[in-house]
Amino acid sequence: MKIGIVAAMSLELEYVLNHLQNVEITSYKKAQFYRGRYGNEELILLACGIGKTNAGVYTQVLIDYFEPDAVINIGIAGGLSSHLKPLEVILGTSFSHHDVRVDQMLHFFPFIDSFLADEKLIKKFAPHFDEKHQGKIVSGEGFINEESEKLRIIETFNPLLVDMETSSMAHCCLINEVPFISLRGISDLADASAEVSYKANEQRAADKVGEKLLKVLKK
């Protein structure tokens, strides 16, 4: 199986990249793609850059150039649920843009307010997560570190996590009919302490996601 692994930043790919065999690097469209093997799987790794535009554009480039059978997003995110703590890993089962009005998504293309993770991929990954670590991820063009914005997002979407890329990747995969799922580690709690927590936790949270991904792929 050929799987595209997309993260925003290189540090989010490091754990997986360090466990690949026979890695080949391809430079294309101002990005580097790392192609290698992990067990029976062929993986293509890409750091797309921060933000929804980069995420959407480079997910499309990945699909067009490498034709993966599935796309998996990995990386870090802000936790929004009171029962979540930094360094926990979440399986994203649905995705939405928190910086686009819900009625706009429903009344204009793509005529849905959430993008769903692929059912077959959920069946593969869900047994490795308890129920409280599975749920919705929302994305928008901005780092969330204000309580008022955090509460708005929670009240509108009731998600577990907030980040800046996943919904655009899911949106792109929906249009291309490519199976998609996301695994994100919690770096911060999207509050006034977010910037300090993020810097302290980003690498450890990213590595925990990479470790979880490879554990599932191995089985």
pLDDT for 45 equals 98
Over the chain (219 residues), the average pLDDT of each successive run of 10 is: 96 97 95 95 97 97 98 96 92 95 89 95 96 96 88 94 97 98 94 84 96 94
The pLDDT value recorded for residue 97 is 95
Q: 139 forms bridges with which residues in the sheet?
A: 97, 163
CA distances, 99 to each of 7, 9, 152, 207 (Å): 20, 21, 11, 28
Distance CA 48, CA 163 (A): 14
- How far does Cα 98 stand from its chain's mean position? 15
Judge contact between 37 and 20, C-beta under 8 A: yes
With CA atoms as reference, report the closest residue to 68 among 10, 19, 160, 5: 5
Backbone angles phi, psi at 142, to 5 degrees: 170, 145
Distance CA 92, CA 97 (A): 14
Catalytic residues: 12, 188
- What pLDDT sits at residue 70? 98
Structure confidence at residue 196 (pLDDT): 86
**What pLDDT does residue 219 have?**
82
Q: Is this structure's pTM higher than 0.85?
A: yes
